[in-house]
A and B are shown apart, each in its own frame.
Chain A
């Protein structure tokens, strides 16, 4: 069974997240993706994460699809108007992409091209609804399509939010489900406890919420994430553990594996697994 079938059947699913290359050479990217083949159900191809310019997710997903890999294409609303978003959805389907993770995208100021103009022609909920319209054979203007894509659409949820912010996130999830979202991906998770409040209010299996479990590669990375990435709790014990470890990369993966087991115990129906900067070792900690 593929990612879509397993997800919709309620079976456990794992996605491996990979960012396409900063450059036109896809050798390492493909090699890392092939490394998780057979372990991950699909590769989540990130779309210029952190607003850092890289090869597009569409390009990256097409490269992997040509290698016979199942892909979830992340799609940010930041860089395209509604013409381009629809056009790229059609292209993605034609190139073999069958699932899309719709995201708003970070502001260009946070990336390596702060002088870029953001577009946000649609928000992510609008993009999900647009994909549904395309699936029904109509574009946003009502024009008929010759061939329509039937994407499995996903969205993001800030599952580590607290208090009223968490309630707003849950309301946002409901809107996205109404628009057509069939699964959710959380913000990076470094400790399962940060999902406890969310877990009390949402049935993660029913809503198909996949925590994004990340392996840190060093104590310096832990400090950087703590200082610069909002909504990600970096447990002090994890930073200390990486500091003291003889092999911090291995230790980071061990900690991520523990977090993964904890979120699965909490009832989450799978996870997105990431290892920024050490993607070639991602396959080592994806459960068989």
Chain B
């Protein structure tokens, strides 16, 4: 899923303080799971903002709505009539949702309420960690299902660097060395022969570095 975390209240206030009527829009997908922008977080943030503006003597209407998804035309349409009544939209969706909202409601100022962080998993309640950088050419088949692109600080493709110590990365003693994890996993799978093979040079043209990407599946297109 896409992992996000809510922006600090002061930053959000700075974005919307010149308006009088704000529609605060949550999203029921990824940001709900990572507890950054779901219905619950919309409620809490709306209360915090109301209290802030009340304390600062500014009249401000903050209304709430949470959509099934903000990265989908169908669900964004649900607020077409509603959004007209507001000066601006504050979206708690990931960057995709914020942009899709801005594209759909071209004349409406749309502000992000979260920072979109990475593609990750819930390790435990309140802890999300990165697992994928969407590089566009997956090599997990050769690395025991552990990704050196997203989990090695240097994105190394052929084993650990000299900074790997006791299974930890040189950037932090709390960060596992991805290649130690890969070796451990390959050993467990009895596939250490894979580790001996030289990995072909990584094709980065499918990565973000090649510009904005798209996926087309013609057989499902209307």
Contact = CB atoms under 8 A, between A and B. Distances in A.
B10 interface: no
B205 interface: yes
Contacts of B205: 108-109, 114-116
A22 interface: no
B18 interface: no
B201 A115 contact: yes
Interface in B156-207: 201-205, 207
A118 B202 CA distance: 13
A117 interface: yes
B126 interface: no
A140 to B, nearest CB: 20
A172 interface: no
Interface string A182-216: 00000000000000000000000000000000000
Secondary structure of the A side of the interface? loop
Nearest to A117: B204
A116 B210 CA distance: 8
Interface in A89-145: 107-109, 114-119
Contacts of A108: 204-205, 209-210
B57 interface: no
A116 B211 contact: no
Nearest to B211: A107
Nearest to B207: A117
Nearest to B137: A115
A115 B204 contact: yes
A114 B209 CA distance: 10
B105 to A, nearest CB: 23
Contacts of A119: 209
Interface in A143-197: none
B153 to A, nearest CB: 14
Nearest to A107: B211
Contacts of A116: 204-205, 209
A108 B211 CA distance: 10
B203 A115 contact: yes
B63 to A, nearest CB: 36
Interface in A38-93: none
Contacts of B210: 107-109, 114, 118
A221 B210 CA distance: 27
Nearest to A109: B210
Given A108-B205, A115-B205, A118-B210, 10 more contacts: A108-B209, A108-B210, A109-B205, A109-B210, A109-B211, A115-B203, A116-B205, A116-B209, A117-B207, A118-B209
15 contacts: A107-B211, A108-B204, A108-B205, A108-B209, A109-B211, A114-B205, A114-B210, A115-B202, A115-B203, A115-B204, A116-B204, A117-B207, A118-B209, A118-B210, A119-B209
Interface of A: 107-109, 114-119
